[in-house]
Amino acid sequence: MLDNYFINIETPEDFTHHKYTYLTTMIISCLNLLYGILFFNNWKILYPEIIYNIIGFLFYGFHYLGHIRIKKKLYNWWYIQHRKVHHIKHYPPSRFINRDVQRVYHIGDLLEIISYGGLVIFGLFCIKFIINITYLDFLKLCLFSSLHMFIIDYIHSMFHKTDIRNINNTLFKHIYFLHYIHHKNNCKVNYCIIDFRFDLICTTYCNSSKIIYK
């Protein structure tokens, strides 16, 4: 059981320490800046970081809503899809690793594709009309957002297919552990997947293995 592995990792030297959360955020921001330097000029190099934060916050909120049951059936589909399918059927706390599921997010689910894609488009249009960017810059940001979505989806899939005891990379162990806590703690913490800056801001961040036994 992964619980037995996680119980004794409370020291600052191991991969649970919050310094790795800050390091991950810094690395992602640096990569955003690098993309900006490669594809934009002048102060526009900040475009990727701006759009990343807008879309990232929307994703955080959307994930959070996936754990809230709404009485009206019209608005309850996301709770059913995410909470009941992903957290209860496919990856309950007792079966965090489940290699039988081909994908974490089912690409065949049109509503889910439209929802996540809609969040990206909404964030991009916020930038488009607030800052009045050109269509070429808009396309560059679309590529940037698509890359982020692909990376997040791929890493999320890896969480649920990989045993952490076979992982040597400290940063990957860290974000893996934080997502494990999300599943273990009745989904009340760690709504982000890789970069937990919005969990830190919204006070839903947790890096303590003690939560596993609550």
Q: Per-residue confidence of the chain (214 residues) as pLDDT tens digits?
A: 676 666 566 555 677 788 899 999 999 999 999 999 999 999 889 989 988 998 899 889 888 888 887 766 656 777 877 887 788 888 887 888 887 766 544 443 555 666 667 777 777 777 777 777 888 888 898 889 888 888 888 898 889 888 888 888 989 999 998 999 898 877 889 999 999 999 999 999 988 766 655 4
Residue that is written with structure tokens 């990957």 in the block: 172
Q: Is residue 68 part of a domain?
A: yes
Q: Is residue 8 part of a domain?
A: no
For 173, the token pair is 């162990």
Q: Is residue 12 part of a domain?
A: no
Q: Is residue 135 part of a domain?
A: yes
Rounded Cα distance between 103 and 127, Å, is 31
Distances (CA, A) of 82 to 3, 112, 121, 196: 23, 9, 21, 19
Distances (CA, A) of 54 to 21, 57, 121: 19, 5, 11
Q: Is residue 165 part of a domain?
A: yes
Long-range CB pairs of 4-7 (<8 Å, 24+ gap) are 5/164, 5/165, 6/177, 6/180, 6/209, 6/212, 7/209, 7/212, 7/213
Asked whether 180 and 5 are in contact (CB, 8 A), the reply is no
Q: How many domains does the chain have?
A: 1
Rounded Cα distance between 57 and 124, Å, is 13
**DSSP character for 211?**
G
Q: Is residue 176 part of a domain?
A: yes
Q: Is residue 19 part of a domain?
A: no
**HSE of 112, CA atoms in CB hemisphere, 13 A:** 16
The confidence score (pLDDT) of residue 106 equals 47
Q: Is residue 88 part of a domain?
A: yes
For residue 199, what are the domain limits? 27-213
Which amino acid, residue 146?
A: S
